Amino acid sequence: MSGENFGGRGGRGSNKRATNRAGQGRSGANKSDRTRAGAAGQGGGSRRNAKGHERNRRSLDQRQKSALAPGQRRRTADPARLTAFEVINAVSFDDAYANLVLPKAIRSHRLDHRDAAFATELTYGTLRNQGTYDAILSHCVDRPLEKTGTQILTALRMGTHQLLGMRVPAHAALNSTVALARAEIGSGPSSFINAVLRRVSERSAEEWNDLITAEAKDDHQRLALTKSHPTWVVRAFRQALAAHGRSASEIEALLDADNAAPVVNLVELPGLGSLDEALAQGAEKGELVEGSAYYSSGDLGRLESVRSGSVRAQDVGSQLVARALASAPLDGSDLAWLDLCAGPGGKAALLGALAAERGASLLANESVKHRAKLVESSLKPLPADSYKVVTGDGRQIAKTVSKAALLPAGMSEGQLFDRVMVDVPCSGLGALRRRPEARWRKSPRDIAELLPLQKQLFDAAASVTRSGGLIAYVTCSPHMAETQNIVHDILAGGEVELLDSGEALRAVALKNEDGASRLSGEREVAFAPDEKKPQQTTAQLWPHVHATDAMFFALFRKK
């Protein structure tokens, strides 16, 4: 089995960190191994007589005794592994997102750069490969996995990732995981974990791969096992590739991209921020969109520009769709913009900055209070009179805008908008690189329940858009039901017309050496749902093609 299947990052740097980290011997395993080896080598032979009694043994009062009972020894969990354990438990018990919890945990445990990198790889690698590891563990546990207990299963998955997905020596992976379990779960479970992980260690990653793939009933299940995605997601992604004009044969590349650690993308708020500080700290200019950069130099909180909010982390896919809506040609007035589903505020901040540059104002609506507070925080760097954040049901936006007091300066009661972003609540299947745990939380039923809401939100947006105004329908998902099928339903209503969404994205992307958009050619994003109307396209970004989230974008004009 390749390191890509089991290793999360699988990169040379992370493997090196893993080897260094494991070699520190904090669990005590290395030291005790050396002690035993030294004792065996003294004198070159046995120290026992014919009756089995040890010769020259110290008297009772001379012997060195442990102050701890056997079950109390080596209960100290190493900080990096403890950090990963706590984060994964938060994901399991509290439905937390690892990308939000992990940075806080790293700071709480005061991990240095090397240990932080190890904890990050252990956390994300364990979460990404959960399905594969569970298939392996089912061969090593004599009971259903769901009956082992959540914390025990977390420790087993973490140990398996170290054994099969990281270059951690087997003895270090076993001893450190058992020490962690003894400290955090108990002596009894730690013995069980030790026995199971020893069984895992008896086969290589390649041997386990051969074993579990031999049990697959079909190709979808084979990919689900080896690429660690639910079978229904594999099937949906394969269908989505074809539905957006790409080859279904790209499915393995797409799944592999989901299992690769994403690069941190930065964006500078136009007219407000600058990437100069980040570039001076080792960031590299982005290749897809202006005002962006790749950052891999550690904690973003070290950057003053990030702390001030004028520069922030944002996936390039989100940057592209926001700029595409803001830059698309528009006849008539262009002063009133709306972000209907603004939380947590990333796209709203970029839209608001672009609007402020042109003298336009942004109304940012969010239905959940705590997310509305995040939007407020995101928009703080903008001129105070250029935006307003309101909390309300997006489906009732017409009622919200009927109250002049809730609108930014310059907007009036019953305001109709020129540009509207409808970034609907969705399955999030397009962001599995950044939120690997989401793949295990979702089901086809979740998507079915979201579809009516997505259409209702678009209809509400259309009701407050002026004739000739633009509406962008956006989802972080490639699933057909949330993308092309919704577009078909929208067009059936007759209120709007679909524009060339692919061209809108190509227009805001940077150009290559030949002067062509970087979203053209092999990276083409456009697809015409109706082959009789090739000028009307949707646009889909892909992790394996564009190194972005799988963001869907459809641009409409109100009739």
How far apart, in whole angstroms, are the C-alpha atoms of residue 365 and residue 501? 24
Q: In DSSP terms, which residues pair with 511 in a beta bridge?
A: 517
| Residue type at 90 in one-letter notation | A
**Does 70 sit behind a cis peptide bond, omega within 30 degrees of 0 on the bond before it?**
no
**How many Å is the maximal CA-CA distance in the chain?**
104
Q: Is 366 annotated as a binding residue?
A: yes
State phi, psi for 20 to the nearest 5 degrees: -60, -45
**The two three-digit tokens of residue 374, written as one number:** 């995040």
According to the annotation, is 347 in a ligand binding site?
A: yes
Active site residue 476: yes
Set 293, 353, 438, 476: catalytic member: 476
Q: 413: buried, middle or exposed (CB in 10 Å: 19+, 13-18, 0-12)?
A: exposed
Which of 226, 227, 229 has its CA nearest to residue 214? 226
Are 478 and 540 in contact by the 8 Å Cβ rule? The answer is: yes
E strand or H helix at 136: helix 130-137
One DSSP character per residue, 78-123 reads: PHHHHHHHHHHHHHHHH---HHHHHHHHHHHTT--HHHHHHHHHHH
CA distance 356 to 271: 9
Residue reference for tokens 């020596």: 169
Q: Is 393 annotated as a binding residue?
A: yes
301: annotated binding-site residue? no
**Is 430 labelled as part of a ligand binding site?**
no
> Is residue 315 a contact partner of residue 549, using CB atoms and an 8 Å limit?
yes
Contact 241, 248 (CB under 8 A): yes
Rounded Cα gap, residues 315 and 326, in angstroms: 17
Question: Is there a binding annotation on residue 344?
Answer: yes
Strand partners, 362: 337, 387
Question: 423 a known binding residue?
Answer: yes
- Residue 316 tokens, joined: 């390039």
511 is in an annotated binding site: no
**Six token digits for residue 129:** 């490969």
HSE value, Cβ hemisphere, 13 Å, CA-based, for 173: 26
The answer to whether the beta carbons of residues 444 and 232 sit under 8 Å apart is yes
Structure tokens at 435: 């939120």
**What pairs with residue 337 in β-bridges?**
362, 419
Closest Cα partner for 343 from 379, 374, 318?
374
Residues belonging to the active site: 476
Binding site, annotated residues for S-adenosyl-L-methionine? 341-347, 366, 393, 423
